[in-house]
Structure 1
Amino acid sequence: MPLPTYGFDPTEAAIPWLLLTAHGYEVAFATPNGYSSLADIRMLRGEQLGIWKWLLQARSDAVTAYYQMSNSDNFCAPLKYTDIQMNEYDALLLPGGHDKGVREYLESALLQSIVVDFFVAKKPVAAICHGVVLAARSINPATGKSVLHPYKTTALLQSQELAAYHLTKLWLQDYYLTYPVTVEAAVKAALSDPAHFLKGPAPLWRDTAAHLNRGFTVTDRNYLSARWPGDAYRFSMDFIQLLAVSF
């Protein structure tokens, strides 16, 4: 699970970590410089979210999972991006995050090449929210196209991204817009057919371990995708299922 130095979404990293480790999988982490990463503090604490704190802040179960993850041995001693060797790992998980700090992760040419390696090897790759942008930007040199070009996928919906932006722009400016182009638009541009971007049902409720049906994911061969923190439990369990049938 590669992460930026700062700004990843705590739910999208910690809930998969929690469920994967509970099912016996070891999760290794990597950061640009080999130092521990830090999640988006605003998502953890709800700072400056105003009246929308109840809607936008990470839920208490995810915050608890984040602090458990952040005290784990692998999280405290991450690899550097340069240390990631595809042959040493069974799968790749790409969490998201919208704070501007995630740009070093989304724009890393090294990570993009690693994503290509996993796709070429047909190993399981899971991406959620802005993590799908990293996959979309990963260009296979053999084809000159994104690794997602022949796949179906989902990602953070434009309606979700713009809603959060408009609700908070008065005091947070463009905090909820990582780039001027929305995630949905960027991902669609990488696909062979824009219709291969699947929006799923309206994301009205966050899922839970007991209500996986509230989440939405898309599985296409070795690739799994999801939209937002509200899909994290479904995303995690579907990834575990994908791993089980892959090995």
Structure 2
Amino acid sequence: MSKILFVMTGVDYWTLADGTRHPTGYWAEEFVVPFEIFEQHGHDIVVATPGGVVPTVDRSSLAPEADGGRETADHRAEIISTSTELNNPVELEGAQLADYDAVFYPGGHGPMQDLATDPTSGALLIATLDAGKPLGVVCHAPAALLAATRPDGANAFTGYRLTGFTNAEETQAGFADRAPWLLQDRLTAAGADFTEAAPWTPHVVTDRTLVTGQNPASSAGVAEKLLTLLP
């Protein structure tokens, strides 16, 4: 049995290019699906957020049309409301990598606001890479990789083959022309080897101990791949 640290956004908004705040948080599918997969295999999960705040779900991710129908949406909403781990997070600032066997980052637009510039998260990501521990990151959560800067100024993920929410998907979601920056562009500029599949289709990329997923539909695939990498 392994112990997995879920690092999640601590904000409930995303500041758009015009300065307005778009209500958001984490995406339900990207938490619930991996959470259930890991639990079904007997692994322990600890949720951490900046400051230890209870993470906010993006309400649009629980709409039936966004979540596989009413039954699926209701099930995920129930998991979110009853999860002891989700509703009692630890402070990210106090989390010690040595206590965990793997690290997982769910997405949603929230990470674009806080984790993209969070030095504690960035240091944890670097430590996870350097320790050779499995690291899973889904959808918009690869924004957190932008904060993983080594002392020489280089991004720790330069040269890694990975994926994340694409420019095409952001355009189809209606945010590309409103966003202050696009994830695909920033990861590419940081030196990552960004790959993409057709919008909204499952796409999982593994490079060494890093497993990334392009979108919500990739959440299960990332979790299942991480299972094979756990000690």
Residue aligning to 2:44: 26
TM-score normalized by structure 1?
0.78
Q: Find the residue that maps to 1:8 and give its secondary structure.
A: coil
Q: Say if 2:231 is the partner of 1:234.
A: no
Q: Say if 2:203 is the partner of 1:224.
A: no
Distance 1:11 1:39, change over 3 A: same
Distance 1:102 1:71, change over 3 A: farther
Residue aligning to 2:190: 190
Deviation at residue 227 of structure 1 after TM alignment:
0.6
Structure 1 residues 124-143: aligned runs within 5 Å = 124-141=134-151, 143=152
Residue aligning to 1:146: 155
Q: Find the residue that maps to 1:184 and give its secondary structure.
A: helix
Residue aligning to 1:203: 199
In structure 1, what residue type is equivalent to 2:7? P
Distance 1:89 1:111, change over 3 A: same
In structure 1, what residue type is equivalent to 2:124? I
TM-score normalized by structure 2?
0.83
Contact 1:91-1:125 at 8 Å conserved across structures = yes
Residue aligning to 1:123: 133
What are the ranges of 5 or more consecutive residues in structure 2 without an aligned counterpart? 1-5, 13-24
Deviation at residue 94 of structure 1 after TM alignment:
1.0
Residue aligning to 1:212: none
Distance 1:204 1:93, change over 3 A: closer
Structure 1 residues 149-168: aligned runs within 5 Å = 149-165=158-174
Q: Find the residue that maps to 2:7 and give its secondary structure.
A: coil
Contact 1:98-1:178 at 8 Å conserved across structures = no
Show CA shifts across 1:18-60 (max 9, x none): 10111111110012222321211122237xxxxxxx3xx2334
Residue aligning to 2:33: 15
Residue aligning to 2:95: 84
Contact 1:19-1:236 at 8 Å conserved across structures = yes
Deviation at residue 178 of structure 1 after TM alignment:
7.8
Larger relative strand fraction: 2
Residue aligning to 2:180: 180
CA distance in 1, matches of 2:158, 2:73: 32
What are the ranges of 5 or more consecutive residues in structure 1 without an aligned counterpart? 47-53, 166-173, 206-214
Distance 1:145 1:67, change over 3 A: farther
Distance 1:62 1:236, change over 3 A: farther
Structure 1 residues 18-57: aligned runs within 5 Å = 18-45=36-63, 54=65, 57=66
Contact 2:112-2:144 at 8 Å conserved across structures = no
> How much identity, in percent, do the aligned residues show?
22
Q: Say if 2:9 is the partner of 1:4.
A: yes
Superposition CA RMSD, Å: 2.1
